[in-house]
Structure 1
Amino acid sequence: MGTNSLAPQHHILNGDALKDHFPDELTGEVIVLREALVEGSVSGKYPDGFFTTRALHISDNYPDTTAGGYRHKSALEIQKIGTIPAGSEVNLWFEDDLFCQVNFWFSVWLLQHYGKSNPLFLIRPGEQSPYSFAALDQKTLMNAFHQRKPIQSPGEIAALWELYKAGKPKELHAQAANLQSQYPFILSAVEAHLDRFPVKGGPGRPERSLLRIMDELQTREFGPVFREFTRREAIYGFGDLQVKALYDKLLASS
């Protein structure tokens, strides 16, 4: 996709880490999706019920964030998506891992919710670093921007969020399979999500992986376990807080 368009640009970023080294030569308003929708309840009608649910989850699980802090830093930022003007192109910067993908689906759903019909483009970090924009310098980020792909079927992407939110794993998998020719990375993320569910009463894939790592490394020290988990299970995109929650539950039950 060429980038010679004279249309104004809006950029929806997957987090503040990308914002901190966003290419200086790119113009347009930046909106940061400060969320972790891959974890916790996502119930409640948008906006009020949804943000109440998320504020409760975040304040309970992120020690540095209060419910009020969530509303100020995250909810208000998310609602900026509803103010994007009709003439602007919208660039969605999201990685291929499950954490980013759930936020990506939500972002596209939100644009649909607000009745936006702007041209949408997906920007991914590329095959050399599919799960991390952080590894890219400004030149490589600009290359990623130049390779942006138009999103031709936003309603089908939005449907992924609706199925995820509704807790319909079979339908979610079917929808991802339908999109495989256009977005093959989505199916991998969805299958990783489905692997999170317990199997025959046993733990899900992330917990099994943590147990295997602790056994192989012969340690329960979180640091080395976390580093190895992020290497083996990069598809999840979990940060230290998500992994620590799983880790603590495993230790408490052992």
Structure 2
Amino acid sequence: MKKTLHVTNGDSLNDRLLTMKIEGDYAVWREMLCEGKTIVDLTSSAFRKTRVDFFKNNYPDQAGDYDEKFGSQLAIIADAHHYEEIILWFEYDLFCHINMLACISFIKSRGYKGNVYLVCSGRISGEKDLFALSQLFEKQLLSHYNDKVLLNNHDLFIADDLWRLYCGKDPLKLDPKRAKDSNFTYLSNCISAHKERFPSVITGLNTLETNMLRLIRKYNIKTPHQLCGYMLNYQGYYGYGDIQIKKMITRMSSFFTDIEGRLTLTEKANNILDNSYNVFKEMKYPCTLGGASKYEYVYKNDNHQLTKA
């Protein structure tokens, strides 16, 4: 039996670990399950069709070779019974945590009996900001690896349960408290962040969309490309990539204009921020987050809960 299978959160980290000669075999998780409809069983034809259709409709440049990019790596994880241990490399953000939940649920469904460890980045001693694994120095990365956390049966159950709830049609069941007493340090924050992806009952914009307007108002941002950079840096627990942020900017483009070389909010956008003007109806479009339609629920800012729209 082989000793270690590493499951990494992307090719960049994977290549770096190989360069560092961290022993073991590798599988790369090349999916973004935090966006679009998801289905619990990753091996089902329904899951594959759903995800391929999602990429074709939203990120056509990323739609090709799905089986090679993701299916081939999932097949490696499916054979994890050949390994004594699995080490998961995922970061503190929502993007990584949804992928991590799906991965753990899949491993659990295969009846894996070995140890499952987690290497998760986030807070660094003496630093204010949260750090991705790719941002760590080699010494820090090795330290994280040496301090990897053994996930117990309770952790595995929680991850599987939350993945199933995420894929379900009722996001009201997703409660940050479900992550209590687990070894997932950032999971409750990610569940809270997920809930804030639904539109605010007050304005019809979600947290990230509102934050975009605030950034445009606060900073001297000259181009949508520069706005993307600000959004990437000031997104908190979401962990979105540039292709997701660029898509969001395009969808929000009616709320700002270029005046003398600076992005400037429209009157309507200022009314959203200053007078709680509601744009729910005009923002509404077909969008699924896991198993729930984004515009079938609204986020209540006063109690941080979701309710039916």
When normalised by structure 1's length, the TM-score is 0.89
- Give the aligned partner of residue 265 of structure 2: none
For residues 77 and 58 of structure 1, what CA distance do their matches in structure 2 show?
18
Partner of 1:13: 8
Hey, what's the Cα distance between the residues in 2 that align with 1:62 and 1:161?
23
SS in 2 for 1:211: helix
Q: Per-residue deviation at 1:133? A: 0.9
Q: Deviations over 1:44-64 (max 9, x none)?
A: 753211011111212333343
Q: Does structure 1 residue 224 correspond to structure 2 residue 237?
A: no
Assess, with a 3 A threshold, how the Cα gap between structure 1 residues 126 and 230 changes in structure 2: closer, same or farther: same
- Residue 51 of structure 1 corresponds to 48
Equivalent in the alignment of 1:118: 114
Cα displacement (A) at 1:213: 1.1
- Paired residue for 1:3? none
Share of identical aligned residues, percent?
24
Per the TM alignment, residue 87 of structure 1 is displaced from its structure 2 partner at its CA by 4.2
Are the equivalent residues in 1 in contact too, given 2:40–2:163 (CA < 8 A)? no
Which structure 2 residues correspond to residues 131-142 of structure 1 after superposition, within 5 A?
A: 131-142=131-142
Equivalents in 1 of 2:131, 2:195: separation in Å?
19
Which deviates further from its counterpart, 76-85 or 217-226? 217-226
SS in 2 for 1:59: helix
Is 1:180–2:180 an aligned residue pair?
yes
Determine the C-alpha separation between the residues in 2 that align with 1:228 and 1:219: 9
Bigger drift between 176-185 and 229-238 goes to 176-185
TM-score by length of 2: 0.74
2:237 is paired with a residue whose SS is: helix
**Which residue in 2 is equivalent to 1:22?**
17
Q: 2:287 — aligned with what?
A: none
The amino acid across from 1:186 in the alignment is L
What does residue 251 of structure 1 align with? 253
After superposition, what is the alpha-carbon deviation per residue over 1:22-58, rounded to whole angstroms, capped at 9, x for unaligned? 1533211110000111111114753211011111212
Distance across 2 between alignment mates of 1:90 and 1:66 = 28
Aligned counterpart, 2:268: none
Query: Partner amino acid for 1:46?
Result: L
Paired position in structure 2 for 1:33 = 29
Aligned partner of 1:62 in structure 2 is 59
The count of aligned residue pairs is 246
Alpha-carbon distance in structure 1 between the residues aligned to 2:217 and 2:17:
40
Identify unmatched segments of 5+ residues in structure 1.
1-5
SS of alignment partner, residue 38 of structure 1:
coil
Uncovered stretches (5+) of structure 2, i.e. residues with no partner:
257-309
User: What is the rounded CA distance, in whole Å, between the counterparts of 1:193 and 1:156 in structure 2?
Assistant: 17
Which one has the bigger helix percentage? 1
- Return the index of the structure with the highest Cα Rg: 2
Q: Distance in 1 between matches of 2:2 and 2:130?
A: 28
Answer 1 or 2: which has greater strand percent: 2
Local SS of the residue matching 2:52: helix
Shift of 1:7: 7.0
Residue pair 1:131, 1:234 contacting (<8 A) in 2 also: no
Q: In the aligned structure 2, how far is the partner of 1:51 from the partner of 1:7?
A: 29
